Structures are given as structure tokens and as C-alpha cells.
Structure 1
Amino acid sequence: MFLSRFRPLRSEKKLESHVTHYLIPFHPKMKSTIDDQNNDIPVVDPLPVKNSLFLDLQESLYRFQCMLVQQSSTDETIECNITNHYQSILDKIQSIDQLEYTSETFDIVHMVFRTYISDILPLTDKYEDILSLVLSTKINFNLEALFKENESFTRRVFFSTHDLLALPNMIDYLEGKQKETQTYQLKIAMSVIINRLQLISTWITFEKDDFNDQESILRLLLKFINSNIHSDDSIIKQLFNLLIFLTEKTILVPSFINAGFVIYILQWLEMEQLPYEIQGSCIHIFYNLAQKIEGAKALNQADGLRILKDCTYRLLDPNIINGQHGFENMQLLYCMAMSLLIEPKQNREYVKNHRRILDYLLQSIIDASNMDNFFYADFHISRPIVVLTKLFVQDEIIKYVLDEAPVKNFPLSSKVEFFANLLIRFRGALTMDEDEANPLTLTALFNILWSISFHDEYLSQLQTNRQFLLTVKTFAYDTSVMEYERYVFANMSSIFKAANGILLNLGENISTRVHESSNITVEQPLVTSIANPSNRINVMISYSHTNADFCHDLVNALQKDPRLDIWVDFIYCRSGDLWEEISEAIENAHVILFIITKEYQSSKSCRQEVMYARDTLKKRFIPIYLKNDFVANSWLGIRIVGAQYIRFGKRSFGDSITEILNLMDDNTSQKQKQNVFKQTQMLTTPIADPVNVQDKILDKNLHTSQNRSIELIMNAVAGQTKPIEQWTFEDINQWFEQNNIESKLKDLYRFQHGNDLLLYGQCLQPNWQYEYADMRERYTREYNEILYRDQFVLLVGALNRL
């Protein structure tokens, strides 16, 4: 049976800096003191008033241990005292059930359990009633209520329970060195420890370094499994289930990698004679490790992809498996693990070779969506959706899934509609604090739909879905959703960023907000105008945050040139999620540096920046390749084809910087030399020269002569047969509509003739942003609404195309 359901993760709270009461050994990060007077029985941060039963039992166990030690040297001289004391201990343990279900009561149970394993059992195995009685106390069966109420208690119980595995007796058991007479009781103790850890792992919120000091125990568990994996020991199955639970916590994956999990998991997957259930558990852990970038890298380096493929012939052949329990789970696990390991390529051949995986992922999502609890087999819908999010960075995969992939039990006419409606169904997920799966699903769906919205053929389906648009706008305007960053996995952006990205692609009016704490306003450009006397160059750098270290080095090097005013988000942005500041920097830039990497091409945020700079504003740009082995393709390759680029790594870092500076100088000196007809044609073809018409409108000192003829301008208008100077009021209205310009702007201007447009376009040439500031104020007075920058840019771009 695969333990694959998402377990509830309680809303995160700031953990207490220290534990105010703790009566059992702590994880190394927690405060602990040792009471040397009580035979090294630890008492940590005691309660202001200790529970009398705790103290009584602690003292009784200590005395009992001393009597047993004396008995070993004096035979039966104190036998009577031992018997009486033993019965007294049993009576006190039974009285635990009379106490309330509190953390203090559980501390008593845990103290007795630990003391018996560490101090009593090594001396004799004759008093196992202590173990059986303490494990049968009622509080052992009511722990979830305590975990639900007290997160700090949950953490300390997890780590104190985990630390029991480091007791000498337990280490002997894991290494197979225990006394034969102790095996039975140690096995019971091991089972209790595993089950308790598994229970707590459904409630605990782990932190980054929690397992750094536990890797030696993890290695010990791996060796124990490896030595007993062919046995029918129930402990082995329990351990696999526990490891499935723990490796699902992606924050812990680096510790599991360091402990050697990758080597052991791959080794076990190659063992053909293992029980089907154990092999399924291995694939499940394989998938869990692959969810983390470090895990996928480690698995690929260890030949994990080949080993996983080899498993399919014996694990996923229906003719061989013959209806094995868990077959559907195994199929989905395999498809998800493969998708996480394979680097999707932007071509039809890749799609053809992996159609079965793509089909199965999509069908599992559809099947899960038809269930009330959103589960397919034993998996929540979030699992395959998160995997699909990674794959949807490739356009060919998007088109195959949406247009070609076969589906069953699908009542809708469109898969785009399916994903949009599914997002609507999960719109309340962030209010469900008790389950991390639903917010994760919502985050993944926003990212999937953001990827879809980059494709013109699907836009109308999204634009006409009013409930979908309302849902997206709700999240785009709510900055509080930025608090849910913990649901943002690799290859994903936050809900806030994705929602704003979707609206931008759909041409909707989105808010380009600036936080109240920011002193930057749209009336005050972030970078110096090109018209300044020093003739400085405004440079904007667009990059993936995965390559932040290189970007910092690049900025430090370029800042040594006094001519450059450099804009990069880690210097100027008040928030990485605000498009306002980034778009303003793009608008003000004379040249934009795209740091081209695989991660850049996969980033939807970077794609938005390139499209705004290259497609909307026709800005000059320089592609900078960070690595020798990557060549841009797909949407990015199309947009930078023909442009002169720099590739770092071919020569020294300093020489590459010099090359960038020279290329900036060359581009600036060429700017006045282009023919208007060539530039107009470049609007619909890949740009081979970074100089274009848009620069002449937006840059103050680099526009062409204002004496160019009206006839030349008229002929440059794509698709217009009527000269602009002859345009009527109706023609102007049609032009506003064709360019998706806000109708209220049209009403404000009230242009009557084509020449009005041409003259207004010339008025924008000194600096269109000053005009935007004036129009924004006028727009607010007239309509009591805000005119956002992206709305005005549509007008500027349309005038430029005239």
C-alpha cells in the first residue's frame, strides 16, 4: 500500500525561540540540561511546578535501576525489594490514565519509555510489563489532538522520538548486535518509534536545517533496510512508509541526499526479486527526491533515468503485473518521476517520444477533478498538476496537451476551459489552512494558465471567461497573497506574479502599483534620460534569479564605466513581484541586456520582460549567453535571432565586458542611419538589427528628422490604404479599437483628423513619460480612476507604428 496522500500541514506560525517546558531529551537545537544527581536522567526546562507523578516515577525508575545493578552482584539479597518496587512502578504507570490529556502527561509516558529502553532493558529483559503497560496508556492513542494545538510540542516530540534511535540499545538493534533475549522488545520499541515519527510528520512544519544533525541516524536506517530488505519483516515496510512521509518534505531532501539515499534507492530498484510493494515504495521515494532540484540532479548523475526506465518492463506491464494492488499508483509515480528527471526539449520529436507520459498526467488530473476529494488513486490532484507546471514551460508540450492529447470522461469542449474552471474551483484554497495540497494546486494552476496565456490561439477562450477573469483580478490586486511563498515550488512563480502576468498577456487593465514605502513614482524615471548633457547610457539587465551570482558580477564590472546608468531589480525593486518598476525600467532603457540561460528561457517572468521590451516597445537589446552549451530556441530564439550576442566563457571575463561596452557604443552610433521602410517591415519579421522604429519615438535625441514627408509616414502604416491625413473621426475610432487602446482615452482626446494623431505623436517625442503624467492626472479627474502605464504605452506604441 502506497502512503502517498498529502498529509495536512498546519498553518505556519513563528516557533517559540525556546521551549518553556520540556522533560525529555531534545533535538540538538533545543535547550537541554542534565540532572547529574538523578543518574543522568535529563530534565530540560522544567515546569514551574513539576507534575508529582512525573517526579515520583522518575525517582522510582532510578531506584529500580539501582536495585537491579545491586542484584547482579549480590544475587537474591534484595529480591523482595525489587518485586515490591516493580509492582509500585506498574501501579503508578496505570494511574497515568487518570490524568488529563496534556503535553505534560505525554512527557511522563515518554520518560518511562525512554528510561526503560536505555536503562532497564540493558540490565534485564524480565520486566517487559513496564514497556507493554506504558505503551497501552490512553494518551498514546490521542496524540493528534495535542499536535493540532501545540506546534512547539509537536516539534520537540518528533526530535526527542527520533533521538531514541541513537540510544546504544537501538543502535545495537539496527546493526544486528543486540542480545537475542532483547530482540522482541527492541523490535516493539522500534515499531513504536517509527509509527510515532510517521504520525508526527503529518503535523510538523520542518525547517531547513532540522536534519543536518540526523544524517548519521539516516545512514544507519539505510544500512538496516539494506541488510533486511529481502526479509518479510514488518519493520522494513514501516520504515519505507516513514521515509515516504519524510522525503515528501522537500526541505529535508538535501539531508537525505547527503545520507546516501540516492545510491541505496537506485540499488534497490535494480533488485528484480523484491516484493512489488517495496519496489513501489522505492519509486515513490525516487519521485519525492526528484521534486527537489538537488534531488533530480543527484538522481541523473547516478544514472537514475536509465534505472527508472528499466523498471517499467517489470513493474508497468499489465500482462505481467496481473492487477497488482497499487498498479495505478505505480503508473502515476513513474510518469511524474520521469517528467521531473527528463529535461523537456522544444521539438515535436520529444513530444512524440513522451506522449504516453503526457497523456497519463493529463488523464490523472481530469480523473482527480471528477472526484469530490480531488484524488486519483492515492494521489491528490496537486501532484500531477505540479509536474505539468514544469513541462508547460515548453510551447510544444502546451500545444500537444491542449490540442492533441486524448482524454476520457471529459465533458468540456476545450482543455483551456478545463484549466480555467479548475482554477475557479480552487479559488478559496488559501483560506484552508489545514491542507497544503489545495494552495499548492491553486499556485500550480495559476502558473499553467500563465504559460497558456502567452499563446495567441488560446487568448480568446480566457478573455471571454468572465468568472475566470474576475478570479484572476481578485488575486492580482490582493498583495496579501504574496505571503504564501511556501507553496511556490521550483519552476513556479507566486500566485500574485502569475495573476498579474496573465492579465498583462490578456490585455487587461492591471495595476502597476508601487508600495507605499517606495519613494519612486512614475513621474520620476528610475534612470537618467538620454537627453542629459553627459550623454549617458541607460542599461536595464533582465535575468533569471537562478543566475543571480553572475548578474551581480556583471553589474559590478559594468558600474566601473562612468557612462552607464544600470538598472537591475536587486538594486531598485522594492518587491520582486511588482511589474510596475520593471516595466518602467524597460521603458527608460536605451539598451537591455538579456542574460540567456536555460533557466531564463524557462522563466515566465523573463518571457514577459522580453516580450514587453522586444515586441511592444521594440527596444534595443544585447543577448548575453552565460554558458557555452546552451542555445536559445522556441519563443526566445525567435526573438533574438540575428542579434549580435556575447557568450561568456569563450574568453576572459574582462574581455567579455569590453565586448559588451563596444557593442553598446556601436549600437548608439548606428541609430540615425536606418531606413523607415526597412524598420517598418521589421515589425512583422525577426529583428536582425537592434535599431528600429520604436527607438525613434521613445528616445529623445535619437529620433529621425521631423521633416520627413507625410507620404513616407503614410506608406509605413501596415494594412492602411487610406492616407492618415485623410482619416476621419470614424477612422480614428476604428484605429483605437484595432490597437486595443482604452476607449476612455479616445473620448478624452477627441481627435477629429489623422493629422491630429501625427502631431500628437511628435509631441510625445521629447519624453512621452511627461505626457503620461499629465494624462494620468487628467484621466483621474475625469473618471475618478487610475490610468496605468501599460494602458498609455499601448497608445504610444500605436502612434509609433504610424
Structure 2
Amino acid sequence: MSLQEFINNCLNEHVSARVLCVATCILTLLWNLTDKLAMVSICIDVGYIQKLIQWIRTDTFASHIRVIGNPIICIVYNLSRDKTGLKQFRTEKAFDILMERKQLINNENNNDLTDSYGRVLIALATSDEQSEENKKLILNTTENLYQLCKKTDQQDDLSSDGYHLSELLELLDRAFTNTYVIKHILEDKINEQSTAIQYFTELFLSLYGALLDPEPDELEKRAVKYLLRILLQISSYPEYLKQLIDNHQFCIIIESLANRPKRDDVKRIWCNIQQIMSTNERKKEMLSKIYISYDYTDEDFCKEFVKELRKRMTIPIWVDYENVDLSDDMWEYISPNIISATVVIIFVSTAYGENTDKFQELSYIISTNKSRDEKKGLIVVATEPNFTFNRSWMKDLLHDKTMVSYENNMGQMAWNVCEQIGVLEKPRIKCLNWLSKNVRRKTPQSDDFSARTLKLIPEKDKVYSQKESSQMGGSTDFLLVSKTHSSQSIVTGLMTQTGSVSGSTWV
């Protein structure tokens, strides 16, 4: 906090060259400290994220960007590696604030500064539209990361140029959420085989032992974690999945690891592989069931929506929070329920698009959609007003699907979903219209009232009785329908009961 206060005073006042030199040394120290994962949460807790945003907006940052620009931007990147830090940066609109400094950074023509800036943009971008503005920079940065990975994994300690392989793979995993980025990296082919896919699979085969080691090196274990996430994203593209399957050793290791607990990403990869390898056709006859796909930040919306759906339909709904505790093995519960679902409802949101697990889940849903009704089998529901697809992969997979727009009335949205699925009961007004064509309204005093009405009801559905009422002039005929009779008979009976009381007609 003392270091933070010193820097804050320097950047918000006129600073001498000597003080600026001290400030730069302190920022470099903070840059190295935040490179240690244990320090990141401490810096977040004492308010560095808000201060960093303030510092970037100062005139001192703009006028001395050559000296203090790289350390500050690298600290932003280091803190963004933490989920809480990333969320705070996005709340503070850090991406937009950094974009205000884009021209200044370009003017410096400094490779280190430009590279650091590109990495921060990859980390903080929430939509492909933001990435599109910086497409050239992001592609160049990703290419540099990929080449640095290949250089780093040759070292005994998996470190090079101050970066550990785990950090580079983590950033590549984020970059690959952009479809154009992953296709750019994987398009380098020899004999129709992507050299990048070959690199990632062979790297996994050399490192996967960290998952089996009872006392693994934590950074090496982290490297395998993000390598698996990259392979999971690759496996979600059918055109790239085939090359993974062609590597028999890779498939054997993935299948073996998938049978172990706490290997959710491996199970997802293996499930994608099985989709291609399996020759068993699914049964055409399936019991109706709805599967709900949503991001955990939208859980409250999901719970309320499911509650409203159940008021309007009796089809069983499978949603994870009701059936399984959050765990590292969610996929082994999720995948069979996706396969057996006759209808899948997807709650789309900005958060859904940012979640790489949802990309894999949605790809799997689409790949299993062949056995569902083309029009009713997959329904998209927007969980936020004016929703637009923030990721191209989500747009590519869902652009031609039925979408229920967000409304303030949750009940109406649920009704719209039921209407799309086709489970709504026929409105009762149709029964009334049918009666109006066939029955001439008469009071019980009319001789032919009971006879005409009873003709409209099947003989087995009639129960007839006489009742006396002191409030009514004379006797009144009532049709009583027993519990076992059809709903149409009940409606018919109710619709045709009339009488008069004190000069008024009752129905």
C-alpha cells in the first residue's frame, strides 16, 4: 500500500526525472511481484486494479509512456490472470481505457511495449468485435506467443525470456476463444496436417505425467491444465478433431485419463472423440426431456425461468444445480443428459460467450442435435436486454436457431418457450367457439335446453340430477361430470349451464 501511495503521488503531480526513475524501479518491482500467483490476490485486495486504471488515464502516463508504460501494462496483465481481477478490470472498462492509449503506444514503435499491450487486449476483450478492431495486433501477438511456447518447452525448467510455459499456454487459451485466431494458428499445414495441432498433441504427450504425479511441480501441472483447454477447443471443431483422432497414442492416453476422477476437460475431449468414432445410432424413440445449458453467472435467472416453465408444462427438466454438486467431474453427468434430451434450451448471455467450456458444450449439443426435432429441438433464450452474439463461435453455431428475446416478464418468456416447443394446451376459447356454432343458448325453462345440450356430450359422460332452489323460480337442470370424464366433456358441461336469478341471467 505504501508503494501504491508513492506511485499515486508521482503520477498525479509534476514529477522530476529523479523521482520518475524511482517510480519506474518500484513499478518494475511490482511487475515482478505480481508475476507470482500468490501475490496477485494480495494486490487485488489492496486496490491496485482501481489505481492502475487511474494511472493509465493520467497525463504523466501519456507523457512518460516510454519509461513507465510497459511495467504498468504488464502489471495489468498479471492481475488479469486472476478471475476476480479479470472481472474487476472488465467492470472498470479497462479495455476501453487502454484503447484510448493505442495511438500513443503505436507511436513509440517499441516491440516489448506493443507485445505487452497486445497480450492485455487478448486478456481483457469480452467480444470478437473488440478483438476485430485490433485483429492484426492480436494475430501478431498470438503468433509470437506460439513461437515462444515452442522455444520455452525445450528448456529443462520450461522457462524462457522471463516466461514460464504455463503462462504462455494460459494466454493462448484466451486468444483461442476468437475463431479467427485459432484458425490462423492451425492453418499452417504440411501434407494436409496442421503442424500446430501436431505440436500441441506431442507437447501433451510429453507433459501429461504431471497429472499422475502425486507431488507434481505446480507450474508444470498448470501448463498441462491450459494445454488440455487448448486441445479441448481444438477438439470442438470437427475439421480439427479428425487429426487428433488420427494420433492413436493421444487417444489412448485421453481415454485412460478420462476414466480417472477430477479430469473434466479430459472427459470432454474424450466425449468429442467418441462422437466421431462411435458407430452406434441413437434410438429414435426417446422419452421427452429438456436439458438446460447456461453460464453460472446467470444461475438466478435460470432458476426463476425453470420455475416458470414447470408451471406451464410437465416435461421433465434436467438442470445441473438440481442433480449434481459442482465438481471437477461435471461432464460425466452432463453429456449423457445432453444425448438423451429431446429439447435443449440455451440461456445465452455475454458471460456465456466468454466461457470456453460453453463453446465445447454448445458444439457437443449441435453435434448431437440430429436426432431432435429440427424446429423444436433447440431453443435459444436471451438472458439480457438487447443481446447480441459477442463471440463469433456462438453466432456461427446459433445464428439459424429460434431465439426467444429477453423481456421483463419472465412468465411471458416461459410461455414463448412453451409455444416454441409446442406443449401449450389449446385455448379454451376454441371450445366456446365450437359451442356457439352448435348450441342455441336457452334458459332451463326452455323445453329443449337439456335435450339439445345432452346430445353434444357422449352418453357415457352424462350424470343428470334435479335440484331445487328457493332463490330460483322452479327447478333447474344441472349437468354433473364425474372425475373420470374427459376435459372436453367437462368444458362442454360448464359452458352450457344457464339460469335466471332476480331478472338476471347467470352462466
Question: Shorter-chain TM-score: which interval?
Answer: 0.5 to 0.7
C-alpha distance 275-302 of structure 1, shift in aligned 2 (>3 A):
closer
Between the aligned partners of 2:399 and 2:347, the Cα distance in structure 1 is 15
C-alpha distance 243-571 of structure 1, shift in aligned 2 (>3 A):
same
The answer to whether the Cα contact below 8 Å between 1:402 and 1:415 also exists between their aligned partners in 2 is yes
Measured after TM superposition, the shift of residue 573 of structure 1 is 1.9
Between the aligned partners of 1:668 and 1:474, the Cα distance in structure 2 is 49
Measured after TM superposition, the shift of residue 639 of structure 1 is 4.2
C-alpha distance 220-439 of structure 1, shift in aligned 2 (>3 A):
same
What aligned pairs does 1:499-538 form with structure 2 within 5 A after superposition? 499-507=266-274, 530=287, 538=289
Matched residue, 2:421: 664
C-alpha distance 583-336 of structure 1, shift in aligned 2 (>3 A):
same
Between the aligned partners of 1:331 and 1:354, the Cα distance in structure 2 is 10
**Is 1:445 aligned with 2:223?**
no
Between the aligned partners of 2:254 and 2:80, the Cα distance in structure 1 is 30
The alignment covers a number of residue pairs equal to: 399
Matched residue, 1:643: 401
What aligned pairs does 1:246-395 form with structure 2 within 5 A after superposition? 246-248=33-35, 249=37, 250-252=40-42, 254-257=44-47, 260-267=50-57, 271-272=61-62, 274=64, 276=66, 278-291=68-81, 292-298=85-91, 300-301=93-94, 303-317=96-110, 327=112, 330-343=113-126, 345=128, 351-352=135-136, 354-395=138-179
C-alpha distance 277-378 of structure 1, shift in aligned 2 (>3 A):
farther
Between the aligned partners of 2:104 and 2:2, the Cα distance in structure 1 is 29
Matched residue, 1:476: 258
- SS at 2:379 equivalent: strand
Provide Cα deviations, 1:257-277, integer angstroms capped at 9, x if missing partner: 477323343046853554855
Provide Cα deviations, 1:244-269, integer angstroms capped at 9, x if missing partner: 24544443454354773233430468
Between the aligned partners of 1:275 and 1:637, the Cα distance in structure 2 is 38
Between the aligned partners of 1:252 and 1:237, the Cα distance in structure 2 is 21
**Is 1:596 aligned with 2:345?**
no
Match of 1:421 among 192, 198, 202: 202
**Is 1:552 aligned with 2:303?**
yes
Between the aligned partners of 2:394 and 2:28, the Cα distance in structure 1 is 44
The answer to whether the Cα contact below 8 Å between 1:348 and 1:396 also exists between their aligned partners in 2 is no
Q: Which consecutive residues of structure 1, in runs of 5 or more, have no partner in the other structure?
A: 1-215, 319-326, 407-411, 483-495, 511-528, 531-536, 670-802
Measured after TM superposition, the shift of residue 610 of structure 1 is 3.5
- SS at 1:563 equivalent: coil
**Is 1:458 aligned with 2:245?**
no
- SS at 1:623 equivalent: strand
TM-score, normalised to structure 1's length?
Answer: 0.44
Paired residue type of 2:258: A
**Is 1:578 aligned with 2:330?**
yes
Matched residue, 1:686: none
Matched residue, 1:232: 18
The answer to whether the Cα contact below 8 Å between 1:290 and 1:341 also exists between their aligned partners in 2 is yes
C-alpha distance 299-432 of structure 1, shift in aligned 2 (>3 A):
farther
Measured after TM superposition, the shift of residue 579 of structure 1 is 2.7
Matched residue, 1:146: none
Provide Cα deviations, 1:622-667, integer angstroms capped at 9, x if missing partner: 1101123433474544444443321113x42232122223333358
What aligned pairs does 1:783-794 form with structure 2 within 5 A after superposition? none
Between the aligned partners of 1:575 and 1:305, the Cα distance in structure 2 is 36
Measured after TM superposition, the shift of residue 316 of structure 1 is 3.6
- SS at 1:648 equivalent: coil
Q: Which consecutive residues of structure 2, in runs of 5 or more, have no partner in the other structure?
A: 278-285, 427-507
CA RMSD of aligned residues (A): 3.7
Provide Cα deviations, 1:24-78, integer angstroms capped at 9, x if missing partner: xxxxxxxxxxxxxxxxxxxxxxxxxxxxxxxxxxxxxxxxxxxxxxxxxxxxxxx
The answer to whether the Cα contact below 8 Å between 1:540 and 1:585 also exists between their aligned partners in 2 is yes
User: Is the deviation greater in 583-592 or in 253-262?
Assistant: 253-262
User: Is the deviation greater in 563-572 or in 355-364?
Assistant: 355-364
Between the aligned partners of 1:357 and 1:344, the Cα distance in structure 2 is 17
The answer to whether the Cα contact below 8 Å between 1:219 and 1:260 also exists between their aligned partners in 2 is no
The answer to whether the Cα contact below 8 Å between 1:222 and 1:261 also exists between their aligned partners in 2 is no
Match of 1:616 among 364, 368, 373: 368
TM-score, normalised to structure 2's length?
Answer: 0.67
Measured after TM superposition, the shift of residue 421 of structure 1 is 1.4
Paired residue type of 2:154: N
Paired residue type of 1:367: K
More strand by share: 2
Between the aligned partners of 1:343 and 1:372, the Cα distance in structure 2 is 35
The answer to whether the Cα contact below 8 Å between 1:335 and 1:357 also exists between their aligned partners in 2 is yes
C-alpha distance 275-230 of structure 1, shift in aligned 2 (>3 A):
farther
Between the aligned partners of 1:278 and 1:353, the Cα distance in structure 2 is 21
Measured after TM superposition, the shift of residue 372 of structure 1 is 3.3
Matched residue, 2:445: none
Paired residue type of 1:598: T
The answer to whether the Cα contact below 8 Å between 1:624 and 1:645 also exists between their aligned partners in 2 is yes
The answer to whether the Cα contact below 8 Å between 1:476 and 1:499 also exists between their aligned partners in 2 is yes
- SS at 2:346 equivalent: strand
